[in-house]
Amino acid sequence: MIICIFGVTYREDYDRELHKQLNADMVEAVCSMPGFISLKFYTADDGEQIGIIRFKTRKDLKTWRNDIAHRGAWGHAPKLYHEFWVQNCETFDDYAWVDGEHLDRDQSDRFQMSREEVLAAMETDRS
């Protein structure tokens, strides 16, 4: 599994409506990507937004990175974000503890999200 972690800090004067529309467009695009597993957002105590996107393979992540809709959204970044950073990681150890038992296993199924689940998660206003 490949994990893309990204963080954003918003410009004070960013266009909330533009951001909302771009989020909706990107959810539609990423959910249709081959190998897409999930997308979630979290807010740190200092206000930084952290996103985690999971893909099955490096090739799947690269396909997303090079997607024409995704690349098109990059042009809006200067109007929205003070900073946007990305770290791509490859899972090298995958396990869980369930009722005290250690289980070595691929957990892709645990994180798999449908388009509807991603949209529901995105409905939370993170601004």
Instruction: Dump pLDDT digits (tens) for 67-121.
Output: 999 999 999 999 999 999 999 999 988 888 989 999 888 888 888 988 888 888 7
Question: What region, left, alpha or beta, does residue 6 occupy, with left being phi > 0 and alpha being psi -120 to 50 degrees?
Answer: beta
Give a yes or no: residue 84 inside a domain.
Answer: yes
The number of domains in the chain is 1
What is the overall mean pLDDT for the chain?
90
Residue 53 neighbours by CB under 8 Å, 6+ apart: 3, 4, 6, 30, 36, 38, 39, 61, 64
Residue range of the domain that includes 7: 2-122
Burial tier of 122 (Cβ tally within 10 Å: 0-12, 13-18, 19+): middle
Cβ distance 6 to 84 under 8 Å? yes
CA 19 to chain centre: 15
**pLDDT at residue 126, rounded to an integer:** 53
Note the pLDDT of residue 46. Answer: 83
127 lies in some domain = no
CA distance 9 to 25: 20
pLDDT of residue 124: 61
17-45 per-position pLDDT tens digit: 999 999 889 999 999 999 999 999 899 88
**Residue 67 belongs to a domain with what CATH number?**
3.30.70.100
pLDDT exceeds cutoff 90 at 123: no
| 3-class SS of residue 8 | strand
Q: Kindly report the pTM of this predicted structure.
A: 0.83
